[in-house]
Each structure stands twice: as C-alpha cells, then as structure tokens.
Structure 1
Amino acid sequence: MPTGVAMRDAREQLFDAAERVLLREGPEGLTSRAVTTEAGCAKGVLHKHFQDFDGFLAELVLDRIRRLDEQGEALLGSAGQGSVVENLTTMLTDLFGSVAVAIVSLTISRDGLRARLRQDVPAGVPILTEAGRVLRDYLVAEQNSGRIAAGVDVDVLGLTLIGSTHLMFADRTGARPTADEVRAFVGSVVPS
C-alpha cells in the first residue's frame, strides 16, 4: 500500500492477515514482515497500532478469545434445545476447525507472548482456558435443566472434551477430523 493511503480497520486487517499466515505457515512463519506483506501494507502500520510484535500477537489472541465468548453465548442459548451431543459437536468443531489450534501452538512457542497474556489470562493456555469456561457454563446449564445428570462432574467433562478434541485437531498438516468423528467422540463421553 502506498505511503499516505489510509487503511480502513487496520487492526482487523492485520489480525486477519496474521491468521492467514499462521494457518498457512504455522507459528514459525508468523513474523511482523509476513503479516504486513500479507495485509499489503508497510511494516510501520503494525508498529503504529501496536507497541511491538508480541503486543500485536497478544491483542490478536485476546480478540479471538472475545470471539469465542460470542460463540459461548450462542452455545449457552442452545441449552435445553436440540441434542446436547450435537450442540457440543458443533461448538467443538467450530472452535478447533478455526485458527484456535494454531493460536495454541503460537502461544506455547513464544515466551514474550505468554508473559503478556498472563496479565489477562493468569492460568492455562488462554484460548483453551476460555473454551473450557464456555463449555463448563453450557454443561452446568444443561445439568440444571436435567439433561445432564446431577452427579456428573462438569469440570472434568469439560476438560475431557477440550483436551481430547484439541488432540484430534492438533496436527495442522494432516487430515482434519470430520464432524461425524467429533460427534462419535462427544457421544462416547457425554452421559445420556
């Protein structure tokens, strides 16, 4: 982009460019130069909006966590409706079929990024921690409606669903699990 031409929604364009690079090249290929090249702008644009590259990455992760919160509201709104297994399958497939798996790898691979994220998310891997909270809220709502038995430990069930589904999707270069495979797994661990 030529100097002096304003970018509309520069932050969002940079975030979207970072996602594309992250999905295509993995955490090792995600550099400020790669992001600005992908966004079609000068490198200085990133530094105009963010203190440094780790600050940019922290804002990217926090932005994607906010999007997860929106998905969580939709999931919570589905409590008492449809099938519990189907609701969970949809949420988990959407979560891990997105950039979330790559963000987990990115967070693990960058010490500076993890340190910055600790200010907002003090424990765990930030996007997985938030996904676990979203799932727990949904499972509690289903338990309160009687669709999950009162004796089920929803904390353990939520961690099982997050951890195992993450492992199903963890190989970003291999074949992705199908919705049927995720559904079969969810159905095997969610008590009916």
Structure 2
Amino acid sequence: MPTGVALREARRQLFDAAERVLLQDGPSALTSRAVTTEAGCAKGVLHRHFDDFDAFLVELVLDRVDRVDAQAAALREAAGAGTVVDNVAGALTALFSSVAVAMVALVTFRDELRARLRETWPAGVPVLTDAAAMIADYLRAERDLGRVAADADVDTLAPTLIGAGHLLFADRKGTPPEAGAVRAVVATVVAGVLREPE
C-alpha cells in the first residue's frame, strides 16, 4: 500500500480484511499481523491509524453497527408493505448472513475489546442491541399501521426475534438456515400479535 493512501481508504481496507479473517478463521485468528497480511499492507499502516489493535477492533465493531443503522432505515420504510413475517425474516437473514454473528463472537472472545466498548456502549452487545432496536422500531411502525396488535410488547418481541435469529445462524462453519426455517421462527414468535392475513 502506498504511504500516501487517504485515511478513509486505509481504514476501509483494514476493516474489510479484518472481516474476512474473522469470517474465515474466527476471533482467535484475528491479529494485527493477520489483518495487515490479508489487507496486503505493512503492519505499520494499522498502527499509523489506530493507537493499538484493540482501538482498531472497537472502530471495526462500531463501523459494523453503522451498517445495521442503514438496514434499520430500509426496514422501517418497508412498514405497511409485504408481510410482517417476511419483512422481519428478511431483516434477520440480512443481519445474520453478514458479519454480525462473527462480531458477537469477537466481542465475547476479547476482554479488552468489551471493556473499551463499555466506555461508549454501556449495555448489551453492539450489533445485536442495534438490531433489536431496528426490529422494535419496525414493529412499532407496523403497530401504528394496525398490522400488529395495539397492545403488542415490541420491546420484548424484538430481542426475542434477535435471539432466535442468532441461534439459527450461530454456527459459522455450517450452512445457513433455509429461508423457510427463518420465516417459521418469526411466524411463531409474532403469531399472537399479527393483525394481517399471512
């Protein structure tokens, strides 16, 4: 990598490389050397842009949280279209087919990363807590439209859906669940609150 590469480009290249290492080999293989080797740059590039490796990992996790925020906007826009079950199943599949499951493993695996994240993220696991907020916001919008019961406890349903989705996708070496399996879990969780024909 040339030394004159802009910070944003270097950060993106390093984040993408870290994601590939994490998905291929798991959190124990994620080292600064593995990241820079995967990115095809000198080890010093990472340390030029981040105080240390854990600072890099914090920024990686927060960058992936931003992706959930973009997905949340798209899901919110889907309120009133399609079916609630299909919309939620699609959101869970998009979330957990990405690097979200690996991020949970990374945060669980690294004590220092968790400690640093707590400085700005006081509760829950980043990515999953944002995903639960995304689902709750969507269900709230559907409740306002009358497609979900007015008394539905969306703040309980959302983490239940995230937990169930995480369990379906958690085996990173296995094949992802079929769309029908994801849809069946969502349909079961929200069955009592739907006010639309399925």
Normalised to the residue count of structure 1, the TM-score between the two structures is 0.96
The one-letter code of the counterpart of 2:100 is A
Counterpart for residue 62 of structure 1: 62
2:150 maps to 1:127 = no
**What's the offset of the Cα at 1:175?**
2.0
Counterpart for residue 176 of structure 1: 176
Any residues of structure 2 matched to 1:21-60 within 5 Å, and which? 21-60=21-60
Counterpart for residue 4 of structure 2: 6
| Stretches (4+) displaced over 4 A | none
Gaps of 5+ in 2: none
- Give the SS at the match of 1:6: coil
The one-letter code of the counterpart of 1:108 is T
**What's the offset of the Cα at 1:10?**
0.3
Q: Deviations over 1:17-40 (max 9, x none)?
A: 000000000000000000000000
Q: Give the percent of matched residue pairs that are identical in Structure 1 and Structure 2.
A: 62
Counterpart-to-counterpart distance in 1, 2:176 and 2:77: 28
Counterpart-to-counterpart distance in 2, 1:82 and 1:171: 29
Any residues of structure 2 matched to 1:40-119 within 5 Å, and which? 40-119=40-119
> What is the aligned length?
190
CA RMSD in angstroms, aligned pairs only: 1.1
Counterpart-to-counterpart distance in 2, 1:6 and 1:41: 13
Counterpart for residue 160 of structure 1: 160
**What's the offset of the Cα at 1:127?**
1.1
The one-letter code of the counterpart of 2:105 is S
Q: Which moves more between the two structures, 149-158 or 52-61?
A: 149-158
Counterpart-to-counterpart distance in 2, 1:142 and 1:72: 14
**What's the offset of the Cα at 1:5?**
4.2
Q: Deviations over 1:53-110 (max 9, x none)?
A: 0000000000000111000000001111111111101110000011000000000111
- Give the SS at the match of 2:127: helix
Counterpart-to-counterpart distance in 1, 2:185 and 2:74: 22
Gaps of 5+ in 1: none
Counterpart-to-counterpart distance in 2, 1:101 and 1:189: 21
Normalised to the residue count of structure 2, the TM-score between the two structures is 0.93
- Give the SS at the match of 1:51: coil
Counterpart-to-counterpart distance in 2, 1:37 and 1:177: 32
Counterpart-to-counterpart distance in 2, 1:61 and 1:19: 10
